[in-house]
Amino acid sequence: MPLPAPLTIGRYALYDKIASGGMATVYVGRLAGDAGFSRTVAIKRLHPQYAADPDFAAMFIDEARLAARVRHPNVITTLDVVAQGEELFLVMEYVEGESLAQLARLVVATGESIPIDVIASVVCGVLHGLHAAHEAKNEAGVALDIVHRDISPQNVLVGIDGAARVIDFGVAKAIGQIHTTREGQVKGKLAYLAPEQIMGGKLTRQVDVFAAGVMLWELLSGSRLFAGGNEGEVLGRVLHHVIQPPSSFASNVSPALDAVVLRSLERDPATRYPTAEAMATAIEDAVALATPRRVGEWARGVARDRIAQRASLVSEVEQSSSVTLDAQALARTREVATSLDPSQLSMVRESKPRALVIAAFVVLVVAIGALIAVLALRRAPTPVVAQSPPSVSPSLPIAALPSVPIVASASAATNVATNVATNVATNVPVAPPASVSATPSTLASASTTSSARTKVPPVKSATTKPTGSASIYSRE
């Protein structure tokens, strides 16, 4: 069954609902960026009845502003805030997993209990995330003193990657926040409120420590700590109920872990853990934590059907958005193409083949030139500088005489001598002999034979200038 057309809000597409809360509904969405970039996200949509309320709208914006300052693996990442018409949307990272509340309900329905090492690992992750929020600073480096004020299993997401993440800072309060809580208004789930929160006392990070203690007690015991028939009864139990150690309901809880839970639930903040990090350290000292892999496998096993159903939905959304993005890219390409005149289109079509032809021709010319150069170097003879002949005509100055090539036979010497005389008289350059033998014995023999058999006629004019010097060429 094809997905219905998504609601488009800016650069985001809003698809099916995946969760719902008191203030907002969470949808799976897609971010469509430039150059075909896309990403699956979770989009929280404020309920219409609250979006029209300035107080709720301001509180919703505060959530995004505060959460964006908290950077930690155990806190859900806030990516963007979008205002469209009278509606507000909060864009967050999408995490494949399930809420801790839903996981606990599924386990209780089977009559089983959550492994202690898994509980300890999840709660420690939550505490580390809270500590990061408590320590967050603004752009100027000033502490924001963020207090979540609504920690409960509903606001903890356990991913199949084994990480527990704190979500929903919608009721958080911090120094400098835009929205100010109405005087006397109590926010948060009653059963997880700290006594000072109910009594209107000063809210510190220890409020979140108390809520984390309630959550830890319930996960270990498998029951509610401050259960009541109405709000008044719940509040009364928070203020006055005698808290039993969780081992009273679960015998596998160690005394060390009992002590951690009871200290976190101290009604006097002065005797409670001062920070979330201190409580996490105490839990780590009391029990061995499950690895992220074990936590992820546990979450996937408990909520297999729900996680698989949501993964199928995300897959459909991604495929649908991919087709939509491809169609949009094609439409943009056609729009650009239609905006060009025919001559520009011709240039676009022809530019690539023409460039290829030119490149091929250049490569061919370079290759042929390189081949010719190699062949020329192989065939070129190696020049050897010759010395002047042993005797010259006394009637011609030495400077005006050309160098005479040395030959290897008497007849050749005679011919060379005759040619030298004639060429000097007529001012014609002497050409090198066709063949040369370069051994010392043949050179001496040729010189002696030439002197005995050939006489060089005298030169009548001494004004002829040499045109260059001859060289002895040796041919291999």
Residue 328: inside a domain: no
The pLDDT-based confidence of 454 (bands split at 50, 70, 90) is: very low
Cβ-proximal residues to 161 (8 Å cutoff; 6+ apart), any chain: 95, 96, 97, 292, 296
Q: Are residues 374 and 415 in the same domain?
A: no
Q: Are residues 186 and 258 in the same domain?
A: yes
Whole-number pLDDT of residue 64: 77
Residue 71: inside a domain: no
Q: How many domains does the chain have?
A: 3
Q: Are residues 267 and 399 in the same domain?
A: no
Q: Are residues 212 and 275 in the same domain?
A: yes
- 157 bridge partner residues: 99, 165
CB of 433 within 8 A of CB of 416? yes
CA–CA separation, 56 vs 59, rounded Å?
5
Q: Kindly state the tokens that stand for 198.
A: 């109910």
- 276 CB neighbour count, 10 Å cutoff: 27
- 93 bridge partner residues: 41
Q: Which domain, by its residues, includes 351?
A: 341-379
Q: Would residue 16 show up in a list of annotated catalytic residues for this protein?
A: no
Q: Are residues 104 and 235 in the same domain?
A: yes
Residue 319: inside a domain: yes
Q: Kindly state the tokens that stand for 64.
A: 């995004």
* pLDDT 10s digits, 333-390: 455 556 555 555 454 445 455 666 677 777 787 778 777 877 777 665 555 444 444 4
Q: State yes or no: pLDDT of 441 exceeds 90.
A: no
SS in 3 state form for the chain? CCCCCCEEECCEEEEEEEEECCCEEEEEEEEECHHHCEEEEEEEEECHHHHCCHHHHHHHHHHHHHHCCCCCCCECCEEEEEEECCEEEEEEECCCEEEHHHHHHHHHHCCCCCCHHHHHHHHHHHHHHHHHHHCCECCCCCECCCECCCCCHHHEEEECCCCEEECCCCCCECCCCCCCCCCCCCCCCHHHCCHHHHCCCCCCCHHHHHHHHHHHHHHHHCCCCCCCCCHHHHHHHHHHCCCCCHHHCCCCCCHHHHHHHHHHCCCCHHHCCCCHHHHHHHHHHHCCCCCHHHHHHHHHHHCHHHHHHHHHHHHHHHHHHHHHHHHHHHHHHHHHHHCCCHHHHHHHHHHHHHHHHHHHHHHHHHHHHHHHHHHHHHHCCEEECCCCCCCCCCCCCHHHCCCCCCCCCHHHHHHHHHHHHHHHHHCCCCCCCCCCCCCHHHHHHHHHHHHHHCCCCCCCCCCCCCCCCCCEEECC
CB of 430 within 8 A of CB of 470? yes
Q: Are residues 133 and 150 in the same domain?
A: yes
In which residue are the tokens 């002197």 written? 451
pTM exceeding 0.75:
no
Alpha carbon distances (Å) from 40 to 60, 305, 327:
22, 20, 18
Q: Are residues 428 and 307 in the same domain?
A: no
CA 177 to chain centre: 33
Helix axes 276-286, 206-221, angle to 10 degrees: 30
Q: State yes or no: pLDDT of 152 exceeds 90.
A: yes
Residue 84: inside a domain: no
**Active-site choice (150, 168, 208, 258):** 150
Residue 353: inside a domain: yes
Q: Please tell me the number of Cα atoms within 13 Å of 40 on its side-chain side.
A: 18
Q: State yes or no: pLDDT of 307 exceeds 80.
A: yes
Q: Are residues 256 and 314 in the same domain?
A: yes
User: At 30, phi and psi to the nearest 5?
Assistant: -135, 135
The pLDDT-based confidence of 331 (bands split at 50, 70, 90) is: low
Q: Are residues 394 and 375 in the same domain?
A: no
Whole-number pLDDT of residue 236: 93
Alpha carbon distances (Å) from 441 to 389, 438, 447, 448:
15, 9, 10, 11
Q: Tell the burial category of 356 from Cβ atoms under 10 Å away from its Cβ (0-12, 13-18, 19+).
A: exposed
The pLDDT-based confidence of 282 (bands split at 50, 70, 90) is: very high
Residue 195: inside a domain: yes
CB of 384 within 8 A of CB of 474? yes
Q: Flag the least confident range among 50-54, 253-257, 361-365, 470-474.
A: 470-474
* pLDDT 10s digits, 66-96: 778 899 999 998 888 888 888 889 899 999 9
Question: Quick one: average pLDDT of 202-212?
Answer: 95
User: Which is more confidently placed, 266 or 57?
Assistant: 266
Q: What is the CATH number of the domain that holds 145?
A: 1.10.510.10
Q: State yes or no: pLDDT of 139 exceeds 50.
A: yes
CA–CA separation, 167 vs 92, rounded Å?
10
Q: Kindly state the tokens that stand for 55.
A: 């107080």
Q: What is the mean pLDDT of the chain?
A: 77
Whole-number pLDDT of residue 27: 92
**444 closest CA partner among 409, 401, 403:** 409
The one-letter amino acid at 72:
H
Q: Are residues 275 and 176 in the same domain?
A: yes
Q: Are residues 185 and 307 in the same domain?
A: yes
Q: Are residues 129 and 249 in the same domain?
A: yes
Residue 278: inside a domain: yes
The pLDDT-based confidence of 159 (bands split at 50, 70, 90) is: very high
Residue 50: inside a domain: no
CB of 437 within 8 A of CB of 444? no
